[in-house]
């Protein structure tokens, strides 16, 4: 009697390993209607807000999601890419994440399939993982697009991948990248962006009162006190970048941005530092955001609009936001270095 085979026909299956670039996410449009579900998903994550849901949910639904979506949508509207108001690619974060995926695919070649996913919003990480498994891919490498590890950033990306695995009878082989705050290509990308900027505008002179801010996203002080390594990894990046550029004493300062709510956050706060420098008559301020691989609301609106206005209104001179990531050669070299590391032996 012939042997009966029940395994699916492998012909047509794409068994190449996959690399998923996972970013935070973005609303689908700069409208309150689109922002509200995005904020609900984001602020419902226990890694983001560690308050028990029984206490937090009434605040979220009864206060925050009634007022904040409209204000956030107005901010998104100031950075939305023109001509694409209803397209997800109108979001700078989505646009540059997609470009990074395309350029990284070209860099790595066809032996791997590069996909882009978002932790909040679409394309959802679990959906992308499911599509890969259905197509025959059982080896998945996950790269959270956060150079410095925090439980509320890279940690929650890995959490979501783990939820997919917990719900899967047929589980993939999974590899993850924790962080890359000291990676040579990453430090070089930051340094190159500043050097190219300084070739045009001149190197800041600390003797003249000019300054450089290295602005990272903040985290609540309680998370830091509980053992989150994020601040230490930001400090390591700042130290290596300062050494690579041979920065003189007093030129660069580490600050933290994007705080919200009444709780204490790690600092010093970028907005407070910018205001103080403006009041002191700082003639020039350069700001780079090493923790953001793609430009987004926090860099384009918060830094390049709000902080710029705060600095100049307080009495400061020229303000320069220095982008480093997006689809630059340095950003792609950084991601490629990490990709080859995590894919070693698969391609």
| DSSP string covering 297-320 | IIIIIIIIIIIHHHHHHHT--EEE
User: CA–CA distance from 73 to each of 89, 276, 320 (Å)?
Assistant: 16, 29, 25
Predicted local confidence at residue 13, as pLDDT: 80
pLDDT band at 84 (very low <50, low <70, confident <90, very high): low
E strand or H helix at 272: helix 270-279
Query: How confident is residue 89, by pLDDT bands cut at 50, 70 and 90?
Result: low
Q: State mean pLDDT over 175-193.
A: 98
Q: Looking at the chain, which runs of residues are DSSP E strands?
A: 18-25, 113-120, 139-144, 173-176, 211-217, 252-257, 284-288, 318-321
**Cα gap 155→144, rounded to integer Å:** 9
Give residues with Cβ within 8 angstroms of 115, minimum separation 6. 18, 19, 20, 21, 101, 128, 132
Tell me the CB-side half-sphere exposure of residue 261, using CA atoms within 13 A.
Answer: 17
Contact 295, 326 (CB under 8 A): yes
Q: Which residue has the higher pLDDT, 290 or 11?
A: 290
Beta pairing partners, 262: none
The torsion angles phi and psi of 115, rounded to 5 degrees, stand at -125, 155
Q: Is 217 annotated as a binding residue?
A: yes
Give 294's contacts (C-beta < 8 A, 6+ positions apart).
23, 92, 93, 96, 97, 100, 145, 325, 326
What pLDDT was estimated at residue 88? 46
Q: Give the Å distances, CA to CA, from 211 to 165, 193, 251, 255.
A: 47, 16, 5, 12
Name the pLDDT band for 305 (thresholds 50, 70, 90): very high
- For residue 7, the model assigns a pLDDT of 53
CA distances from 347 to 14, 86, 121 (A): 14, 38, 30
CA torsion 183-187-192-193 (nearest 10°) is 110
Q: What is the pLDDT of residues 9-27, one digit of tens each?
A: 555 588 899 999 999 999 9
* Share of residues in the chain with pLDDT > 90 (%): 91
pLDDT at 2 over 70: no
Query: Sorting pLDDT into bands at 50, 70 and 90, what band is 86?
Result: very low
224 known member of a binding site: no
CA dihedral over 85, 80, 116, 101, signed as positive or negative: positive
Instruction: Quote the pLDDT of residue 245.
Output: 98
The 10s digit of each residue's pLDDT in 307-342 is 999 999 999 999 999 999 999 999 999 999 999 999
- Residue 261: pLDDT band by 50, 70, 90 thresholds? confident
| Distances 212 to 53, 203, 314 between C-alpha atoms, Å | 40, 10, 17
Residue 262: pLDDT band (50, 70, 90) is: confident
Q: pLDDT tens across 51-69, in order? A: 999 999 999 999 999 999 9
Helices (H) and strands (E) in the chain, counts: 12, 8
pLDDT at 260: 80
Write down the pLDDT at residue 246: 96
pLDDT at residue 6 in the model: 53
């Amino acid at each position: 009697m012939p042997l009966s085979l029940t395994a699916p026909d492998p012909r047509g299956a794409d068994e190449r390993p996959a690399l998923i670039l996972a970013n935070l996410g973005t609303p689908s449009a700069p409208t309150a209607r689109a922002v509200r579900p995005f904020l609900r998903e984001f602020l419902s994550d226990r890694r983001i807000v560690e308050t028990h849901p029984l206490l937090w949910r009434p605040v979220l639904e009864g206060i925050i999601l009634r007022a904040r979506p409209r204000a956030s949508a107005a901010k998104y509207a100031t950075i939305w890419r023109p001509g694409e108001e209803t397209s997800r690619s109108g979001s700078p974060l989505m646009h540059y994440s997609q470009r990074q995926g395309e350029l990284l695919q070209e860099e790595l070649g066809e032996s791997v399939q590069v996909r882009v996913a978002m932790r909040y919003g679409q394309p959802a990480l679990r959906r992308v993982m499911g599509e890969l498994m259905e197509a025959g891919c059982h080896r998945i490498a996950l790269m959270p697009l956060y150079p410095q590890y925090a439980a509320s950033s890279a940690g929650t990306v890995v959490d979501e991948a783990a939820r997919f695995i917990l719900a899967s009878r047929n589980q993939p082989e999974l590899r993850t990248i924790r962080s890359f705050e000291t990676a040579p290509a990453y430090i070089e990308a930051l340094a190159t962006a500043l050097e190219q900027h300084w070739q045009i505008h001149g190197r800041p002179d600390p003797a003249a009162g000019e300054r450089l801010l290295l602005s990272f996203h903040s985290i609540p002080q309680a998370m830091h006190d509980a053992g989150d390594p994020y601040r230490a990894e930001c400090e390591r990046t700042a130290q290596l970048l300062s050494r690579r550029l041979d920065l003189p004493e007093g030129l660069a300062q580490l600050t933290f941005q994007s705080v919200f709510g009444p709780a204490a956050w790690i600092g010093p706060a970028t907005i407070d530092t910018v205001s103080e420098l403006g009041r002191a008559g700082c003639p020039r301020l350069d700001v780079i955001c090493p923790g953001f691989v793609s430009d987004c609301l926090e860099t384009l609106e918060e830094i390049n609009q709000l902080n710029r206005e705060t600095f100049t209104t307080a009495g400061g001179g020229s303000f320069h936001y220095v982008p480093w990531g997006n689809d630059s050669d340095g950003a792609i070299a950084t991601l490629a270095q990490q990709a080859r590391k995590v894919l070693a032996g698969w391609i």
